[in-house]
Amino acid sequence: MNRYILYFFSLIFIFTLTFSNFTPLISKVYASQELENAQADRARLESELSNLEKEIAQKQQELSSQKGQSVSLSRDISILTTQIKKAKLDIKSKNLVIKKLGGEIIEKSKTINVLNLKIGDIKESLSQLIRKDREIDEKSFMSILLSQDSISDTYSDIDAFSSIKKEIKKSVDEIKGVKTETETEKTQLEQEKNKVVDTKVQLENIQKQVENNEKEKQQLLSISKNKEQAYQKLLDEKAKRRSEILSMLFNLRDVSAIPFEKAYEYAKVAETKTGIRPAFLLAILTQESNLGTDQGSCYVTNMDTGSGVSSKSGKVFNNVMKPSRDIKPFFDITTSVGRDPYKTLVSCPIGGSGYGGAMGPAQFIPSTWQLLKNRISNLLGIKTPDPWYAKDAFMASAIYLTDLGAANNSYTGERNAACKYYSGRKCDSKKPNNSFYGDSVMKKATNIQTKYIDPLQN
């Protein structure tokens, strides 16, 4: 190959690299300026947010002081007034957070676009290098030696070929690095979007709280000071509602019914050990077994094949329990807690397909319970946990939900954990058969929190 041709190709390569990097340079300068503006906005928002948080803390301190006073009409009005002011500050704070996150999402999106452009430029340069490399490969080493070029020219050509090889490797390594950086930015972008969803849900809850507090405040203001009897009646109604909540029963099959107060106590114990929010845990248990009332209606009749029968219809199922996975753990669990494995109800196969075999209020399959039992024992300080005992079942669910990412108490974290609890994967709007479970659990959690837990705390 004539060295002048090779030099010509080298000039084309240098020219291409130079001008392929020039076009995105203008875009990068523009993006950099926008990035600086966005960062300035973020700094301003962070400063405003910090001031709001100080005000909120001050209102919380006032609220704590007011709650320590003796019960009276004016005291309750003052508490509600402070709660409303604090909530309104929270609303302002949450709106700032949403605005700040919106700016960060724009930043991330622009960064990803710049990185994608960079990958495209590198790929284009790489394709040109590969074409040159193939042209060179078509010439054998012997043909180069037998050409009309001098020995020094031949060695010069070989050095050029080696340089192209090195440039190809360099470009491949650069693409790998940029791709890794792009994936990191995409992950952070998804996290920012989740934070927006979480903050909007918190904002909606606070707005509802303000509405309720405003109504209650107006009700109190309508009671004049010379109508203490009416105020006492209002307090009596609250006390009555509290008693009704505490007397609600969680009917757990095979054990005596326990009041809501006890179930809530179990959920709070689980919260102290795992960080799982009580309302969310109770919602999961409601979804799984209607708080223990629906623990299955099948018996295993054959410990070799896993076949069984419905206790209600007498229908025979060949797949009540998966023999290779769950039969031995089920036998070990039931015998360890003094139960007859042939007379212990488990879930039937859904729709007759797949396998059933889920146990107790939390509806764990035996093999999964075995994986958690040591952790349950350690956290509760017991020797042998029982899947059919409410306190043990509550703790098991809380541990599992922690593993699934629900301990941060964010809306998206809890919702995705609920979907994983059901199907093993996070919620996906494109797969409604999976996301419906998470949506249903979150609605139940809101209902439990506002209707049952909040009245107990106020």
Instruction: Tell me which amino acid residue 209 is.
Output: Q
Quote the tokens at residue 64: 């704590």
Per-residue pLDDT of the chain (458 residues; tens, 9 = 90+): 444 444 444 444 444 444 444 444 445 544 456 556 656 666 666 666 676 667 666 666 655 665 555 567 777 888 888 888 888 888 888 788 788 878 788 887 888 887 788 777 777 776 776 776 666 665 544 455 455 444 444 445 555 556 766 776 776 777 777 778 778 877 887 887 888 888 888 888 888 888 888 888 887 777 755 566 666 677 677 777 766 766 665 655 455 567 778 889 999 999 999 999 999 999 999 888 776 677 889 999 999 999 999 999 999 999 999 999 999 999 999 999 999 999 999 999 987 678 999 999 889 999 999 999 999 999 999 999 999 998 999 999 999 999 999 988 899 999 999 999 988 888 887 776 778 999 999 999 999 998 888 887 76
Query: What sign results for the dihedral spanned by CA atoms 50, 54, 57, 63?
Result: negative
- Cβ atoms of 398 and 276 within 8 Å: the answer is yes
pLDDT for position 273: 96
- Spatial strand order of the sheet with 298-300 comes to 298-300, 308-310, 316-317
Query: What sign results for the dihedral spanned by CA atoms 405, 104, 208, 455?
Result: positive
- Cβ atoms of 340 and 388 within 8 Å: the answer is no
In angstroms, what CA-CA distances link 55 with 60, 259, 300, 449? 9, 39, 61, 26
pLDDT for position 415: 94
Q: How far is CA 70 from the centre of its chain?
A: 42
Residues 310, 178: Cα–Cα separation, whole Å: 58
Residues facing residue 250 across a β-bridge:
258
Instruction: Tell me which amino acid residue 21 is.
Output: N
pLDDT for position 162: 67
Please, which residues have CB within 8 angstroms of residue 393's CB and are 6 or more apart in sequence?
Answer: 285, 292, 360, 361, 362, 387
